[in-house]
Structure 1
C-alpha cells in the first residue's frame, strides 16, 4: 500500500497535523512516516496570468485595448514560492504516493490554493478533503475519520475558481479603464478597481458626500427639574400629539423656534403639576455567538483594534495556541449535535479560566440546554461560530491575545445564561398643559450580564418615587438650543457592518434578494479590503 500525501496551507499547520498523526520524521521541509507524508504550501503558490496576446505595457493602457476577456486563464508560479511548488510537485509525482489529502484552510480560499497546485502539477491521483474546525489533536484525528470526497468538494472548488476569475476580470478591466480615463490628459495615474474594493470605497464616498453637503438645522428642547418629597427628577418636554413623518429630523421633543421653547420654559417654571407613570417589565437576551465580522466589530469598538489586527490575533489563537475554533467564519450558531461537546468545553473553562465561576454556574444551574438560537444546522455553512476549544493554554498569552480570547469565552458562557430582566418606568409630568417625559430603567435580575460584571446592585437610572396625590414643583426649566448633526464617519466597526449589510440597500429587487444574506466581501477578506483602501490612499 502506498503513502498518503497531506498538503496543508502553512508549515505550522503541517507540523500540527504531523504531530497529531504521530510517528513522522522531518525530512527537509516536510514530514514523512510509513503511511503519511505531510507537506505544506505557504499560502498561494500560483496566480492567474493573462495569456501573452493580452499583455499590454503600462504606457499603452487605453480604451482601445479593452475589454480584456481571455478565452482561457493561465497559472503562473509566484516567484518567491517557486521552490515550495517544485517540492510539492516532486512529492505528487512520487511513485510512493497513491492519494492526496487537501488540508488547506477549510474554506473557499484554501480550496483555491490546493486546486491551483493540482492544476499546475497535473495531478491525477485520488483527492480527499480534511475539513478542520479546530487545531486540537482530537479535532484533527476526528477530521481524518470523516474525510470528504473530491466530488463533495467540487461545488466549492468551482465557486473558488469563479470568484478568482471574476476578481481578475473586474480588476484588470476596471483598473485599466479608470487609469486610461484619469491619464487622458497626459501622465500615468494608476487607479485601481476591485470587485469588493470599489463598492466598499463607494460606501465611504457616499457617506462623505452626505457629511459635506449636510446643512445643520437649529432646534430647541425644554428640560426641567421637578421636586418631590423623595428628591428631584428630570423631564424633557414632548408633544403628545406628534405624528411621525418622512422627515427624520422631526421628533416629538424638538421645537423649531426659540420663542416657542422659551415660552414653555417660562410658563412652567415655579409651577406645580401632576405626574402619572407606567412600569413595564422588559428582558434583554445575550447576543448570538461570534462570527468573524461581529468579533472584529466588537474588538474595534472596545479596544480600537483594526479588523486586520483582530483577524491575525484570532488566527494565532486558532493556529498557534489551539484555544479558538476556526475564525474565518460567517456563522453564529453551532451544530445541533454539539451540546455534549459544549458541556465538555465549559467543564474545562470552569477549571482553567478566570471566568471559571460563571462556566461552573452555567453547568450547575442547568443553563446549558438545546435551543435553536444556539444550535442550528440551517445557520451554518462551511464553519460554525467562533468558540473556545476547551484546551488549557500551554503558554502565556500576550495582552491582546488575552483580550480576544476573553471576549470569545465570555460570549460563549453568557449565551447560555437567562435573559437580563429590567423594570422600565415612564413618567409623564403635566405642568400648565405642557407634557414632560422622564424615563427610568432598573435591573431586577442581571441574567447573562452577570458574566460581564453587572449585578442587581447596578440599579441603573431609577426615578425618585412620587407619592400618591403629590404635585411635583418645577424648580428649574431651560430652553436648550441644539442643532441636527451629519451622519458620523465610518469607523472600522461601522464599515464592517455596512459591508456585511450592503445587500439590503440595493435598489434592484433581484440583486437585493441575492445579496441580502451576504453583503460584500467575506468575513475572511473584509479586513484586507479595508487595509488595501488605506494603503492605496483612497
Structure 2
C-alpha cells in the first residue's frame, strides 16, 4: 500500500512540474543556453532546473541508410545490385557518437518531459540533426524551435521569448531530408556504378561521384582543359611619352573604332595583331607634335555589401590565403565560442529592416571596446552633424533579401583572447560592417586623348577626392593616378614611342576564392556583384557546405592545392571523360545541378512538394546507372594524349586511351590506373624513362584498402605467353618480404642514414623501407626496419636521419588512421629499446573561464600522451 502511495505521488509530481527538453547542436551551445537562462544544476550529460532540461548532440548522431535488404556490402559493387532506390530510409546511429544519442533518448523518454525545443543551429543541417534524433527516439511531445542569429546571452533570452512553432519549420525540415536523401541516392548509386564500370577489368578503382561534388569538379576540369588547349597569340602595343609644359605623361595607342566581340575575347582596343602595323604607327609618330583633348567627370564607388559566408570565404582566401574550410571554422568559433560575430552559415548580405537600433548599439560598443575602431564609430554616429549615417537603406536593411539568416556582422560582445587568425577574420568583418554605413568614395576620373599624325593615344588618371568608406581601410584624399596637367590648346611633343611585343595568356586556374564564386553562380563566371547575388539561389551547394565540398575533392585526390591554385588530377580527368562518354549531363553541367539546389530552396519556402523533388532525383539516379550499365564498349571517347617519352620496347609513340597507355607498333601496354590509382602524365613519362617511380600513395587493394608502393617496369622473359612482344610489364615493389627466402642486400655504395638503435649497424634506404644492414638475408641478426610510408604519411630520408640522431622526427601532419580514416599529427620517436612509436603534441592547459568548475589549474603541467606503435602501411 505504501508503495502504491509513493508511485501515485510521483505521477502527480510529474503532472504538476512538466519540463521542456532543449536539444542544442553542440555541448558548448548547451552550456551557453544554461548560462543565459540561469539556475541550472550540471549533471554528467545535461543541465536541469525547475522548467528545463538542456542537452546536446555533437553534430550529426544518425545517418540515413537503406533498409538492410537493400544494402550492398563492400567488395560486391557490381551492376547486378544497382540501382539502389529503397521505398524508405532507415536511420543508423553513428558509432563514435552513439553514447550521446542514448543520453538524448533517455531524456526524451522521461515522464516529466512534455515538450522539446529544437536549439540546433538555425538552418537546414541543424533542422536535420534534430529531426533525425526525434524520429529515432519516436518522440511524441510538442516541438518548438529556438532560432538564434547571435550567441550573446541577451540574444538567447530574446530567442526564448520568440520560440517558433513546429509547423512553421516543416518546409525547412522537408528540404533538409530531401538534401540528405538526394545526396545519398546519387552518391551511393553514382559511386557504385562508376566504380563497377572502372573495375570491370579487375581490381578496385574507387570512383566517387556526388550530386554537388562532381559538377564542382567539372568546373575545375573545364578550366584546366582551357589552359591546356590554350594557344598563345603574339600581339603588340604602341606606347609613347609626351612632354607638356608641366611634365611628362605616357599614352597607349588605341583603335577609336574598337567594339567588343564575344567571339574574340582576346581583342582589346590597344592590341595590334600585326607587327608591321605596329611599326608603321611608331614610324608615323616618332618626334611629332600632338594635340590634346580630355574629359574629366566625377565618379562614385559604394562600399561593398556586408558579408555572407561565401563572400567572407572569398575575401579571406584572397587576403590571407585561408582555405574555405579554415574560414568557416574561424567564423564558427567567433560566433559560438567568442560570441563576437552573428551566425556565419548565411547566404544573406542584408540586415532586417527593424535592426537599426541594434546596429546603432553595436557601432557604439565597437567604439568603446576597441580603440582602433573608435574614430570610425564616432564618425558614423555623428554623421553630418545633424543625423547619423545609420538610416533606412534597402542596400543594407531589406527583409526581402533574407531567408533564414541575415548578414555576418559583429555583436555587442567585446573581443577577448582571439588568436591571430581569429583576429584577422574579426577585423575583416568589422571593417566591412563599418564601411557600409559610410558615404560613397568620390573620384575625379580623367580620360585624355593625344592625337599624333592621325593616331590616338589614351591616358587615364583617377584622383580620390573624398575617401568616404575607404577611410575605414586607411585611405585619404590623394591622387591615385593623377595626370600631369595640360593647358587648353597646348601642343605636346612626342619624346619616345616604342612597340612592346606581348603574348596572350591562358585563363587563370581557380583558387578557392574564385571557385567559391563559380559555385555560387552555378559555374557561370559573373563579374558583376549584383548579378552574382541574383544568381546565388541557383548555386552549387550552400554557403555552409561549399567548403566541405572543396575539402572532399582534395581528400579524394580529384584536385590538389599548390600554393593558392586548385589543380585537377588525372583521376579527375578520367572521371569527366567517363561521365561525358556516358552522357550523364546532370553530373557534368554545374547549372543543371544548381537547379536542384534552387528547388531545395523552393521546398524551404513551401513552394514545391517534397515528393515531387524526390521523384525527380530517383529518375536522375535511374538514368545514371542505366547509362553505365548499358555502355557496351570498353573504350570511352575522349581527348587523349600522345606521350612525349617513346615506347621503352620499340621507341615508337605511346598513346593514351580510356584504360591504358599503349604502343600501336609493338603491343607494349600498361594500365592507366594500376591498383585503382590514376597515373599523372608526369609520372608515367618518368616511369617510361627511368623504369621505376615511387613510392606512390593512393593505391587500393581489391577490397578497397589503401596502400603505397614503388612501381617498376620489368623486362618480360621471351617465353612469357601472357605478354607477347610487349618487352616490359608493370609490377608493384613493396620492398623485400623479410621471409626465409629473402636475399642478403648489398648496400655497397649507398649512403648510410644513421646508426641502428638496436645493434649499432648502419641504416639504409631500400625499396619501400628503411632497414638495418643486419636485417636482410637468411642470416639476419637484427629486426629494425620502418616503412617509407606510415599510415599514409610519407617519411623522408631526412626525417629518418633526425629520428636516428635525435630520437624523434619533426612533427608530421599527414598520418591517417586505418580504423577511423581520420588524420592526425604526431612525431615518430624511438623508445629505450629501439622501437618506433608515435609521440603526440602535449596539449596546452585549458584556460579557466568564469563560472566553470573543476577546471585544471592553469599552472598545472599537461599530461604527455602515451606512445603507441607505428605501423608502416604496405
Tell me the TM-score normalized by structure 2: 0.60
Q: Name 2:114's counterpart in structure 1.
A: 98
| Contact map agreement 1:264 1:434 (CA 8 A) in 2 | yes
Residue of 387, 397, 401 corresponding to 1:379: 401
Q: Give 1:244-263 correspondences, 5 Å limit.
A: 244-245=260-261, 246-263=263-280
Q: Name 2:325's counterpart in structure 1.
A: 308
**In structure 2, C-alpha distance between the alignment counterparts of 1:228 and 1:290, rounded to whole Å:** 46
- Do structure 1's residue 88 and structure 2's residue 110 form an aligned pair? no
- Do structure 1's residue 65 and structure 2's residue 65 form an aligned pair? no
Q: Name 1:293's counterpart in structure 2.
A: 310
What is the SS of the residue equivalent to 1:274? strand
Shift of 1:244: 2.6
Q: Give 1:428-447 correspondences, 5 Å limit.
A: 428-447=449-468
Cα gap change, 1:515 to 1:434, in 2 (>3 Å): closer
Could you report, residue by residue, the CA deviation over 1:280-321 in whole angstroms, capped at 9, with x for unpaired residues?
100000011000000000000000000011100000000000
What is the SS of the residue equivalent to 1:474? strand
**In structure 2, C-alpha distance between the alignment counterparts of 1:528 and 1:218, rounded to whole Å:** 41
Residue of 442, 461, 470 corresponding to 2:490: 470
**In structure 2, C-alpha distance between the alignment counterparts of 1:339 and 1:255, rounded to whole Å:** 54
User: Between Structure 1 and Structure 2, whose CA radius of gyration is higher?
Assistant: 2
Q: Give 1:99-498 correspondences, 5 Å limit.
A: 99-245=115-261, 246-353=263-370, 354-365=372-383, 366-393=388-415, 395-457=416-478, 459-498=479-518
| Contact map agreement 2:21 2:53 (CA 8 A) in 1 | yes
Could you report, residue by residue, the CA deviation over 1:204-231 in whole angstroms, capped at 9, with x for unpaired residues?
0111111101111111100111111111
| Contact map agreement 2:444 2:462 (CA 8 A) in 1 | yes
**In structure 2, C-alpha distance between the alignment counterparts of 1:155 and 1:13, rounded to whole Å:** 25
Could you report, residue by residue, the CA deviation over 1:445-489 in whole angstroms, capped at 9, with x for unpaired residues?
0001011100003x1000101122321111111111111111100
| Contact map agreement 1:503 1:516 (CA 8 A) in 2 | no
Cα gap change, 1:222 to 1:338, in 2 (>3 Å): same
Q: Name 2:69's counterpart in structure 1.
A: 53
Q: Name 2:653's counterpart in structure 1.
A: none
**In structure 2, C-alpha distance between the alignment counterparts of 1:309 and 1:516, rounded to whole Å:** 22
**In structure 2, C-alpha distance between the alignment counterparts of 1:535 and 1:503, rounded to whole Å:** 22
Tell me the TM-score normalized by structure 1: 0.97
What is the SS of the residue equivalent to 2:351? coil
| Contact map agreement 1:503 1:517 (CA 8 A) in 2 | no
**In structure 2, C-alpha distance between the alignment counterparts of 1:60 and 1:515, rounded to whole Å:** 42
Shift of 1:240: 1.0
Cα gap change, 1:121 to 1:515, in 2 (>3 Å): farther
**In structure 1, C-alpha distance between the alignment counterparts of 2:209 and 2:259, rounded to whole Å:** 45
RMSD of aligned residue pairs (Cα, Å):
1.4
Shift of 1:98: 1.0
| Contact map agreement 1:293 1:496 (CA 8 A) in 2 | yes
| Contact map agreement 1:503 1:518 (CA 8 A) in 2 | no
| Contact map agreement 2:349 2:407 (CA 8 A) in 1 | yes
What is the SS of the residue equivalent to 1:427? strand
Could you report, residue by residue, the CA deviation over 1:265-289 in whole angstroms, capped at 9, with x for unpaired residues?
1221211110100001000000110
**In structure 1, C-alpha distance between the alignment counterparts of 2:352 and 2:538, rounded to whole Å:** 20
Which structure has more relative contact order (CA 8 Å, sep 6+)? It is 1
Q: Which of the pair is proportionally richer in helix?
A: 1
**In structure 2, C-alpha distance between the alignment counterparts of 1:180 and 1:350, rounded to whole Å:** 62
Shift of 1:55: 2.1
Cα gap change, 1:286 to 1:505, in 2 (>3 Å): closer
Q: Name 1:40's counterpart in structure 2.
A: 56
**In structure 2, C-alpha distance between the alignment counterparts of 1:321 and 1:469, rounded to whole Å:** 64
Q: How many residues align?
A: 530
